[in-house]
């Protein structure tokens, strides 16, 4: 006698969370691949494999969707950084690495677009404050007592600039630049 195996039924909350996750991931992929201007909610819904109605239910506007996606990725990336063993000697290296990959590219797209899009700008201001606070707290944890709060704040600003200029270098050039400049930066920041 065979017994039918039933798959457990997912709750509405589980289905909603899965849809939300698919939309957030598809949004980041779209921002990285197509940029803010090329990203549309219809394209994101297609990419996520969800209906337009499901997308609108979760995120009624493009702005709410892209800001939520970047916020989600920031939280995920910060958790990864904080999960590493604090090593004040590698603190700047960890900070510079935080400004690489999909998170940085997606955020960069939004920063540039927010300059001329008032609605996006207004939505980005609180996100940027949360990101700045999270980065400051995370950097303080990773760097320990070596750097004071001003050195940490300045290092975050420098890491952003470092990441933007890296866009125009080959990986080899960037590796050489880091090897050469991070020790100088570290010495200056730790001197207080």
- Structural domain includes residue 149: yes
**Above 90 in pLDDT, residue 180?**
yes
The pLDDT of residue 90: 80
**Above 90 in pLDDT, residue 177?**
yes
- Structural domain includes residue 129: yes
**Confidence band, pLDDT 50/70/90 cuts, at residue 147:** confident
- Structural domain includes residue 8: no
User: Is the entire prediction scored with pTM above 0.75?
Assistant: yes
Per-residue pLDDT tens for 113-124? 999 999 999 999
The total of structural domains in the chain comes to 1
The pLDDT of residue 188: 87
The pLDDT of residue 2: 52
**Confidence band, pLDDT 50/70/90 cuts, at residue 3:** low
Any idea what the CATH number is for the domain that residue 136 is in?
1.10.357
- Tell me what the mean pLDDT of segment 80-87 comes to: 74
- Structural domain includes residue 48: no
Cα 147 to Cα 155: distance, rounded to the nearest angstrom: 9
The pLDDT of residue 24: 94
- Structural domain includes residue 15: no
**Above 90 in pLDDT, residue 164?**
yes
- Structural domain includes residue 74: yes
Contacts of 54 (CB under 8 A, 6+ apart): 19, 45
- Structural domain includes residue 95: yes
**Above 90 in pLDDT, residue 181?**
yes
Question: Containing domain of residue 117, as a range?
Answer: 63-191
- Structural domain includes residue 160: yes
């Amino acid at each position: 006698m065979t017994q039918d195996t039933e798959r457990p039924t997912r709750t509405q909350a589980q289905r909603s969370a899965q849809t939300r996750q698919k939309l957030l991931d598809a949004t980041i992929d779209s921002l990285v691949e197509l940029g803010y201007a090329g990203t549309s909610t219809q394209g994101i819904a297609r990419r996520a494999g969800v209906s337009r109605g499901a997308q609108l239910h979760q995120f009624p506007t493009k702005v709410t969707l892209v800001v939520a996606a970047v916020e989600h990725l920031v939280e995920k990336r910060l958790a990864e950084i904080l999960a590493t063993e604090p090593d004040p000697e590698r603190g700047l290296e960890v900070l510079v690495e935080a400004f690489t990959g999909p998170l940085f590219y997606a955020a960069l797209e939004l920063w540039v677009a927010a300059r001329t899009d008032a609605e996006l700008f207004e939505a980005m201001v609180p996100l940027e404050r949360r990101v700045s606070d999270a980065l400051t707290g995370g950097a303080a944890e990773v760097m320990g007592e070596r750097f004071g709060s001003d050195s940490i704040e300045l290092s975050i600003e420098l890491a952003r600039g470092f990441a933007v200029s890296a866009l125009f270098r080959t990986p080899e050039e960037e590796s050489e630049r880091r090897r050469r400049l991070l020790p100088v930066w570290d010495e200056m920041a730790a001197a207080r």
